[in-house]
């Protein structure tokens, strides 16, 4: 059974990058402390409070060329976190993120930038999101594509399979375009609050 490797924030960036290269994903534990997480929650709470969890953004996404029913319902979702949370900005500029982005993205570019940010609060009864690659919008590149995205998911609360932990297919960043994941190859990113999941845009 495949698994997502877990390393510590005290481990070297080279170990994190090695896991990304080999498995396409890695969980790094103990990256943010309780005070930092509480600050992010406090700063985002007023924005999340007014979001309708049943408001569908799928029509907008489909009009932009996205897949039908891509986004699950029963989920509060806000974007533009850099503008909404001063504390969240420290995640974007965290040394772990910068070292990983330098290693994964810099060989293909002169500069990189933040692609998108979002906070999710998944409610009871929300369905699973369809499996996808973060690089899927860039159809002008064929799979395997150049490395264009390194994604991260910061656990402000505990992630479990039961509460909607992100699904990852380890090793799929190395697959040919027509390879489809079997159910037993899909792994939920279970991680305690304070961890961060990193994954390649082709995973």
On whether the CB atoms of residues 75 and 121 are closer than 8 A, the answer is yes
- Give residue 72's pLDDT: 66
Q: How far apart are CA 3 and CA 23, in angstroms?
A: 9
Q: How far apart are CA 1 and CA 105, in angstroms?
A: 29
* pTM confidence score: 0.90
Beta strands 150-154 and 196-200, pairing class: antiparallel
Nearest to 21 by CA among 13, 9, 29: 13
The 3-state DSSP class for residue 47 equals helix
CATH superfamily of 6-200: q2cbj1_9rhob like domain (2.60.120.620)
- Give residue 59's pLDDT: 58
Ranges of beta strands (E only) in 110-161 are: 118-122, 150-154
- Give residue 54's pLDDT: 72
- Give residue 68's pLDDT: 58
- Give residue 128's pLDDT: 80
Task: Per residue of the chain (203 residues), give pLDDT as tens.
Answer: 799 999 999 999 999 999 999 999 999 999 999 999 999 999 999 999 998 877 666 555 555 655 656 666 778 889 999 999 999 999 999 999 999 999 999 999 999 999 999 998 888 887 788 899 999 888 888 877 889 999 999 999 999 988 888 999 999 999 988 899 999 999 999 999 999 999 999 99
Q: How far apart are CA 186 and CA 37, in angstroms?
A: 28
- Give residue 158's pLDDT: 97
Q: What Cα–Cα distance (Å) separates residue 85 from each residue in 151, 153, 195? A: 19, 16, 19
């Amino acid at each position: 059974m495949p698994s997502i490797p877990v390393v510590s924030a005290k481990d070297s960036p080279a170990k994190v990058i090695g896991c990304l290269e080999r498995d396409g994903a890695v969980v790094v534990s103990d990256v943010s402390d309780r005070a930092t997480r509480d600050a992010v929650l406090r700063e985002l709470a007023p924005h999340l409070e007014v979001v309708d969890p049943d408001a569908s953004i799928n029509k907008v996404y489909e009009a932009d060329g996205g897949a039908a029913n891509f986004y699950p319902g029963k989920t509060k979702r806000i974007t533009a976190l850099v503008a909404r949370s001063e504390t969240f900005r420290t995640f974007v500029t965290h040394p772990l993120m910068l070292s990983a982005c330098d290693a994964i993205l810099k060989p293909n570019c002169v500069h990189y930038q933040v692609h998108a940010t979002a906070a999710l609060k998944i409610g009871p009864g929300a369905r699973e999101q369809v499996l996808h690659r973060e690089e899927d919008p860039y159809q002008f590149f064929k799979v395997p594509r150049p490395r264009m995205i390194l994604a991260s998911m910061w656990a402000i609360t505990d992630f479990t399979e039961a509460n909607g932990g992100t699904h990852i297919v380890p090793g799929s960043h190395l697959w040919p375009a027509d390879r489809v994941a079997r159910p037993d190859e899909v792994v939920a990113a279970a991680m305690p609050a304070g961890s961060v999941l990193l994954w390649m845009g082709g995973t």
